[in-house]
Amino acid sequence: MNVIELTKKLVSIPSPLGDTSGIEEFVCSRLEQVGNVSAELRPVKGLGNNVIGRVFHGDDLPTILLNGHLDTVEVCKGWSMDPFEPKIEGDRLHGLGSADMKSGVAIALDTFKKLAALGTCNVIFAGTIDEEGDSNGAFALIDEGIQADLCIIPEPSGGTIMMGCRGRLIFEVDVRGASAHGSRPEQGVNAISEAGRFVGELDRLELLKDEKLGTGSFCPLEILGGTRTLSVPDTCWLKIDRHYVRGEDRAGLLEQLKNAVGNMGSHATFDISPWKARPTPFLEPYITENEGLAERFTKAVGSEFSYGKSVGDYNVFAKFLPTVVYGPRGVNWHSPDEWVSIESIQKCAEGYGRFVNSMNKGKSSVF
């Protein structure tokens, strides 16, 4: 089964966040077809299982970790076709997860099989779950002590080599006003109105610029508040996404939001803190240095470098391992009628193949 057919098969197996058992079993069965592989399902906090495959050839050899997340977002409204029935139109392979990232998982499985046969390196395939949630699967692997000399992730990167990415924090904001009769709003402090003013202040905040990662961003994600009676709402709750770059940290970002409140001159009170409900650490920005096995990979692939806007499991691994992202070009991730370029899948698979060939030449000074 080539990478295109394997992508189609993976797309045909529904695997929305929190319900990945079918794809876990399929990927495990694929790994078990590789000679001398040790394949297993590893539970992740009641969310499902990571799928791990290992081939070990020697303590003195480098270890390469191939990672791909097995979960997708849920089906959203607006699909014009069956999201689990792969459909090819010209260069486009349509289907939920086709770009994000079942084509990448197919490439990772193909590359795992080829590297495993070499005998010049140890290789691990890690199919993680909950990437579309809080990256519990990736953090579980780190907590288990997974180690490698290079982590390669075929997430969709537009056919470029992604060498770094912004980080992400989520803040929650409790706004407290003062109730009054709704016919006399001037006698109270409307928490919803003050929350709206606060959101407006976000557009005026200065953002630090990183030479590679660009600037960060704010995005209000959720707002809750109101009353069923004719009363001035005295409470409102906000959830704010904050992508950030190197040189910024949690304390500084929190202080920035508090200063925004100070600029408002509001009569409401604002309690701002990192989102307490997140079960895993927030994801930090990173840059992977082009050296060692990472340099061998980038030379073999030969593509230009890029730097990511959003976050993923790569942020988790990059804190502990040299991590390079290289995947195909796709459109409509997290949107109706998602598709991936077939030509781009093939081009990426060929790039990974060149890396495999470079490893077949034996040890060198880059190890």
For the chain, the structural domain boundaries read 3-165+285-359, 170-274
Q: Mention every residue, 6+ apart, whose C-beta is less than 8 A from residue 328.
A: 99, 103, 104, 107, 154, 156, 159, 340, 341, 344, 345, 347, 348
Q: Which of 71, 110, 172, 234 is catalytic?
A: 71
Q: 250, 242, 171, 246: which is closest to 208 by C-alpha?
A: 246
DSSP class of residue 363 equals -
Please give the average per-residue pLDDT across 38-60, as a whole number.
95
Measured distance CA(264)–CA(270) in Å, rounded? 11
Beta bridge partners of 181: 231
Q: Which of 110, 130, 131, 134 is catalytic?
A: 131
For 363, list phi and psi in degrees, rounded to 5. -70, 150
What is the reported pTM? Answer: 0.92
Asked if 173 contacts 238 with a C-beta cutoff of 8 angstroms, the reply is yes
Question: Is 232:182 a contact under the CB 8 Å cutoff?
Answer: yes
Establish whether 249 is a catalytic residue.
no
Q: What are 220's strand-pairing partners?
A: 240
**Same topology between domain 3-165+285-359 and domain 170-274:** no
Is it the case that residue 364 has pLDDT exceeding 80? no
pLDDT band at residue 38 using 50, 70 and 90 as cut-offs: confident
State the Cα–Cα distance between residues 261 and 244, nearest whole angstrom: 20
What dotted CATH number matches 170-274?
3.30.70.360
| 158 has a pLDDT exceeding 60 | yes
The CATH superfamily assigned to 3-165+285-359 is Zn peptidases (3.40.630.10)
pLDDT tens sequence across 166-217 = 999 999 999 999 999 999 999 999 999 999 999 999 999 999 999 999 999 9
Report pLDDT digits (tens) over 3-37.
999 999 999 999 999 999 999 999 999 999 987 88
pLDDT digits (tens, 9 = 90+) for 251-269: 999 999 999 999 999 999 9
What span, in angstroms and rounded, lies between the C-alpha atoms of 295 and 291?
A: 5
pLDDT over threshold 60, residue 293: yes
pLDDT of res. 35: 79
**pLDDT value at position 1?**
82
Please confirm, yes or no, whether 350 is among the known catalytic residues: no
